[in-house]
Amino acid sequence: MLKNRNVLIVSLIAVVNALGYGIIIPILYSYSQKFGLSDFDNGLLFSLFSVSQFFSTPIIGRMSDKFGRRPILVLSPLGTAISFFMAAFAPSAFILFLSRALDGITAGNFPAAAAVISDSTDLKDRAKGFGIIGASFGFGFVFGPAIAAATVGFGTNVPFIIAGFLSLTAAVIAYFFLPETNEHIGEVKQGRLFDFGKLAKAVFDKNVGPTLLITLVYSFAFGMLIYVFQPFSVKALRLSVNEISALFTLFGAVGLVTQLFILPRVVKRLGEKKTFKLALFLLALAFFGMFSTRNLPFFVGLSILFGLSNSFVNPLLQTILSKETDAKSQGSILGINSSYMSVGTIIGPIAGGTIATLGIAYPYLAGGICILICLALTSRILKAGVKKESAF
């Protein structure tokens, strides 16, 4: 029961965190206009979060191995709350940029939350545990935008204030209710908190390298989709802002249902590796279909297929990685994985914007090709076994 309780608490923390992010993401662009930011400036503003997260996630993951999960999951939401309050009362664009950097640094707590799942579940139940925490994030991203829409009329900074208090709530929950789950505190191999050389070499590790490479290529494809989805919807499908928001809500709702009810059943029947391959295959079909269609009902159907298959990928990536490294290094490897994901989401939109100059739908084609590369790489995962002592 204690282990189930840990998963429940971390999932609740994830819900609260995701609500905060779900609240601010839909309004950040319009909020930034009061500071006179251009579209290029906004691109930098959004990228700054991912750049900061790239550096913070391996550090926070490693710190959770050295000092425990609980301190990280208390302090990190506090930093995120400060960043939201800074944005709410920012007197200048510089403070707004600073708030996004701080948010990126402190948002690297996901490896610690994921490590709690690794600590608290048996191998056979791990995919289900990651699915639950993924669904918790999905829940937040479904209802966060609705909260923003309902409160922004009271003041453009009100949603940021609400998001700040939600982050404080996450810290309180972690402090009072989450026990320490790391039974190997301080046993992680000694080394620098941020080791760029090790981060770069990790992709060549015989155990985790192929999985990390899949993370990088997959997140690169996802980054291209994040870029192209809105301009394609406006220019090719003639959708309004509300209709585009409804599609994002649809993604979240499909993800929530998938990770709560479908993922555990499919994994139980097929196993992690076969399920992962199937999800990537369906994801590639969604990308290629989006490239080919200009029909709205068909595009909505493809969006549902995308939301369904995409909801399998992240939980299974984390499950596979957790099985490819030892118990002492769960936070470290999940932190490295998050950094690879950040790299993809930094360069993906830039590449998508460049490719879109050839045609507005071409980033979908490039994304589909990337997913096929990921599918080819699955033949190399979960093969070598876990080292007796991890390099991480």
Residues 230 and 314 in one domain: yes
Highest mean pLDDT among 189-198, 343-352, 369-378: 369-378
Residues 242 and 174 both lie in one domain: no
Q: Is 357 helix (H, G, I), strand (E, B) or coil?
A: coil
- Are residue 238 and residue 130 in the same domain, yes or no? no
Same domain, residue pair 44 and 83: yes
> pLDDT band for position 50 (50/70/90)?
confident
**CATH code where residue 158 lies:** 1.20.1250.20
pLDDT of amino acid 245: 66
Coil/strand/helix, residue 172: helix
Same domain flag for 174 and 201: no
In which residue are the tokens 């993906």 written? 348
- Residue 55's pLDDT band, with cuts at 50, 70 and 90, is confident
pLDDT at position 133 over 90: no
- The verdict on 125 and 213 lying in the same domain is no
pLDDT at 1 exceeding the cut of 60: no
Rounded distance, CA 258 to CA 187, Å? 36
Confidence of residue 2 (pLDDT cuts 50, 70, 90): very low
CB-CB contact of 214 with 381 (8 Å): yes
d(CA 316, CA 242): 32
User: pLDDT tens, 273-329?
Assistant: 999 999 999 999 999 999 999 999 999 999 999 989 998 998 899 889 988 887 777
Check pLDDT > 80 for residue 112: no
Nearest residue to 208 (alpha-carbon basis) of 16, 63, 339, 78: 339
- Residue of 144, 80, 84, 148 whose CA lies nearest to 110: 80
In terms of pLDDT, which residue wins out, 70 or 226? 70
Q: Do both 202 and 61 map to the same domain?
A: no
Can you tell me the distance from the alpha carbon of 192 to that of 369, in angstroms, rounded to the nearest whole number? Answer: 36
pTM for the model stands at: 0.72
Q: What is the pLDDT of residues 285-298, one digit of tens each?
A: 999 999 999 999 99
Whether residues 81 and 153 fall in one domain: yes
Residues 253 and 306 in one domain: yes
Q: Are residues 284 and 355 in the same domain?
A: yes
Using the 3D structure, point to which of 118, 146, 180 is the last residue of a domain.
180
Bigger pLDDT: 10 vs 139: 10
Mean pLDDT value across residues 386-392: 54
Same domain, 61 and 128: yes
Highest average pLDDT, of 94-108, 123-137, 143-157, comes from: 94-108
Residue 69 predicted with pLDDT over 60: yes
Instruction: Say yes or no: 255 and 295 in one domain.
Output: yes
3-state secondary structure 248-289: HHHHHHHHHHHHHHHHHHHHHHHCHHHHHHHHHHHHHHHHHH
Judge whether 109 and 60 are in contact, CB under 8 Å: yes
pLDDT at 31: 83
Q: Identity (one letter) of the amino acid at 104?
A: G
The pLDDT confidence band at residue 392, using thresholds 50, 70 and 90, is low
Give me the domain span that covers residue 224.
197-385
The average confidence (pLDDT) of the chain is: 84
**Residue 284 forms part of a structural domain:** yes
Which residues fall within 8 angstroms of residue 275, CB to CB, at 6 or more apart? Answer: 127, 263, 266, 267, 312, 316
Q: Does residue 24 contact residue 84 with C-beta atoms inside 8 Å?
A: yes
Domains in the chain: how many in total? 2
CB atoms within 10 A of CB 94: 10
Burial 305-320 (b: 16+ CB within 10 A, else e): bbbbbbbbbbbbbbbb
Please give the pLDDT value at position 147. 84
How many whole angstroms separate alpha carbon 154 and alpha carbon 142?
21
246 compared with 153, residue with greater pLDDT: 153
Burial 143-153 (b: 16+ CB within 10 A, else e): bbbebbeebbe
Chain segment 145-173, per-residue pLDDT in tens:
778 878 888 988 998 999 999 999 989 99
Are 195 and 324 within 8 A, CB to CB? Answer: no
Q: Does residue 236 lie within any of the structural domains?
A: yes
**Residue 190 belongs to some domain of the structure:** no
pLDDT, position 385:
52
Query: Of 129-138, 204-213, 348-357, 376-385, where does the model show the most confidence?
Result: 204-213
